[in-house]
Structure 1
Amino acid sequence: MRIAVVGGSFWDIFVFGKEAHSVLIKETPGGSGLNVAYGLFLLGYEVDFFSNIGNDYRGKHIIKVLNDEGFDISGIEIVRGEKTGLFIAFNDRPLAVDRGVNEKEVDVPSPLDDYDLIFITGEVPEETIKTVCEEGSNVVLDIGPNAKVDTENLKALVIGNEEECSKTRCDIVKMGPKGARWGRVEIPGNGRPFPYSLGLGDVFDVVLIHLLLKGKSQGEALKETVEYVQDFYGKEPKTPFEKISDIRFLEPFDKTIED
């Protein structure tokens, strides 16, 4: 099963704690596009990831981390003279975001017929989103907080959280502790807030796509995704990339499904 992921790449810096001299600081690769691509890779899918990074030390370190894990980096364009995106969070709240080279259009292959599914995030420019939705099939778009594209006429399955979906068309609404909704199907959550919620939307996307590709119905996939995220995530201070890395313990993709 071959999947294309088009999205952002960032260097994440997460600070946890209250006192300046006793905080926990974590730095990892990040970005919803990168996280989802890496999560699907860990589950055994053939993933082509298309994104932009700068040729600065952050970009070079992202490449090294992914390369060391055996992740295919051939679709990541290193743009000379540009900065890699930077995301800084303090106690699970976004503090500062420098989008850097993510502001530039992403070079995606044409045609996109070779892929069973295409996942794209709102981290990339509107022009890239429209191109992928027009040329691709089986497109899933997670709009994210930064997207400015009108999804009304896009040929895509659109995912977002409640705030994002209040502004544009969504098919699937992620509602945090309250669960999730897909059209008329609503799966209630347990109502317990996540102490560390940043990045759980990426985990949600990966698990949902995985279960759908394994043949689960919409209702089954949504229910199992909500339960999985609530049961296993958001309890420890981790970066989104660390949370995605834990997904390797989920049952991997069974390649016999393709037969």
Structure 2
Amino acid sequence: MKYDIVVVGSINMDVIVDVPNYPEYGDTVFCNSIKMTPGGKGANQAVTVASLGKSTCLVGAVGKDSAGTQLLDNLIFKSVDTAHMLEIEGEGSGTFVCLIDNTGENTMAGTKGANDKITEADINRVFEQIEAKILLIQMETSRESILAAAKAAKAKGMYVILDPAPAEGIFEEVFQYADLILPNKQETERITGIEVTDRETALEAAKKLRSLGIPDVIVKMAENGSLVYQNEEVNWIDSIKVKAVDTVGAGDCFAGAIACALLDTNNLVEAAKFASVAAGIKVSRTGGQDAIPTLKEVQEYIAVASN
């Protein structure tokens, strides 16, 4: 089967807790609302790709439970091919609890569940059946599945985009297979030891990431934009000016949009500009995957902003 972009990654049920203020340690607080919504870094990226008009499949795993059924049904509804999804007997689907405060910032904790049970054999079996131009991977499934996917993609000549998130899942062995890495400030510090506070430290970190053998680097700095470092050339991309109300999935939206724009432009700087708009629109509204913009919405924003 042929796709534009293949995503290997996590799929979770997110429990979104909207709190007026982040609680102090040991506090009990009343929240504004609690909602259950489909999430997971892999699923968010795959839904972004589909929303932006590219063909994609998600290679991942759910448990044989009601959450897993809901998650798969949602992917199908969002035009993501689920032919290569696994249903793991005896494992629950990944579940995360996310607290969002009045600044739109999110703090998460959860269990990987079935996401952590994907084997190297599972990945190799799927890659024998698929073709694509780009692979998107993150760090929220089993280590062996991440490494196997990166190796299989390189063997097939795919461009490998690594979103090294969450920071807790980072391991360096996979870096040698990545063509592009997209860390945020926390992930950048975890990998390089450099705290990104301004453009100077962002560039220092990008150079260190490049020294690890990754050809292309984008350091994401949230509302301060991003740094694109390619062929020793430096480009600063501004974020769009919006009021952030929900940052859950913003990085996933950015990654999916980067992949889509690279297919259309083969230009990393232009792709980063496009992705900044997509992610900016995403954080300006609530709704999990439902808040991911369509291609038309991104194009319309860019058209208005350029006039």
Aligned residue number for residue 148 of structure 1 = 170
- Bigger strand share: 1
Report the alpha carbon displacement of residue 111 of structure 1 after superposing the two structures with TM. Answer: 3.9
Aligned AA for 2:269? G
Q: Distance in 2 between matches of 1:129 and 1:69?
A: 24
Aligned residue number for residue 4 of structure 2 = 2
- Deviation larger for 186-195 or 134-143: 186-195
- Does the C-alpha gap of structure 1 residues 228 and 46 become closer, same or farther in structure 2, counting only changes over 3 Å? closer
Work out whether 1:222 is the aligned partner of 2:239: no
Q: Distance in 2 between matches of 1:74 and 1:222?
A: 30
Aligned residue number for residue 227 of structure 2 = 181
Report the alpha carbon displacement of residue 62 of structure 1 after superposing the two structures with TM. Answer: 1.0
Aligned residue number for residue 255 of structure 1 = none
Aligned AA for 1:237? T
Report the alpha carbon displacement of residue 10 of structure 1 after superposing the two structures with TM. Answer: 0.2
Contact 1:133-1:156 within 8 A present in 2 as well:
no
Aligned residue number for residue 247 of structure 1 = 294
How high is the sequence identity, in percent, across the aligned residues? 23
- Does the C-alpha gap of structure 1 residues 165 and 21 become closer, same or farther in structure 2, counting only changes over 3 Å? closer
Q: Distance in 1 between matches of 2:73 and 2:284?
A: 28
Aligned AA for 2:54? Y
Work out whether 1:123 is the aligned partner of 2:140: yes
Contact 1:118-1:140 within 8 A present in 2 as well:
yes
From 241, 244, 247, the equivalent of 1:197 is 247
Contact 2:61-2:115 within 8 A present in 1 as well:
yes
Give 3-state SS (helix, strand or coil) of 2:169's partner.
coil
Q: Distance in 2 between matches of 1:15 and 1:81?
A: 28
Aligned AA for 1:178? N
Give 3-state SS (helix, strand or coil) of 1:153's partner.
helix
- Deviation larger for 175-184 or 41-50: 41-50
Aligned residue number for residue 237 of structure 1 = 286
Q: Distance in 2 between matches of 1:192 and 1:69?
A: 26
CA deviations on 1:195-223 (whole Å, 9 max, x unpaired) are: 32121111111222222111152222222
Aligned AA for 1:166? E
Contact 2:46-2:80 within 8 A present in 1 as well:
no
Q: How does 1:42-53 map to 2 (within 5 A)?
A: 42-53=51-62
Report the alpha carbon displacement of residue 94 of structure 1 after superposing the two structures with TM. Answer: 2.5
Q: Distance in 1 between matches of 2:241 and 2:73?
A: 39
Aligned AA for 1:153? Q
Report the alpha carbon displacement of residue 99 of structure 1 after superposing the two structures with TM. Answer: 1.3
Q: Distance in 2 between matches of 1:65 and 1:160?
A: 27
- Bigger helix share: 2
Aligned residue number for residue 138 of structure 1 = 159
Aligned residue number for residue 195 of structure 2 = none
Matched pairs, number: 249
Q: Distance in 1 between matches of 2:11 and 2:94?
A: 6
User: Root-mean-square deviation (CA), in Å?
Assistant: 2.6
- Does the C-alpha gap of structure 1 residues 116 and 104 become closer, same or farther in structure 2, counting only changes over 3 Å? same
Contact 1:8-1:33 within 8 A present in 2 as well:
yes
Give 3-state SS (helix, strand or coil) of 1:97's partner.
strand
Aligned AA for 2:274? E
Output the TM-score relative to the length of structure 2: 0.72
Q: How does 1:67-78 map to 2 (within 5 A)?
A: 67-78=76-87
Q: Which runs of 5+ in 1 are unaligned?
A: 253-259
Contact 1:87-1:94 within 8 A present in 2 as well:
no
CA deviations on 1:125-179 (whole Å, 9 max, x unpaired) are: 2222222222212111111023231054234321111111223237111110010
- Does the C-alpha gap of structure 1 residues 95 and 83 become closer, same or farther in structure 2, counting only changes over 3 Å? same
Output the TM-score relative to the length of structure 1: 0.85
Aligned residue number for residue 35 of structure 2 = 26
Aligned AA for 2:162? L
Q: Distance in 1 between matches of 2:54 and 2:74?
A: 19
Larger Cα-atom Rg: 2
- Does the C-alpha gap of structure 1 residues 96 and 135 become closer, same or farther in structure 2, counting only changes over 3 Å? closer
Aligned residue number for residue 210 of structure 1 = 260
Contact 2:19-2:30 within 8 A present in 1 as well:
no
Report the alpha carbon displacement of residue 193 of structure 1 after superposing the two structures with TM. Answer: 6.9
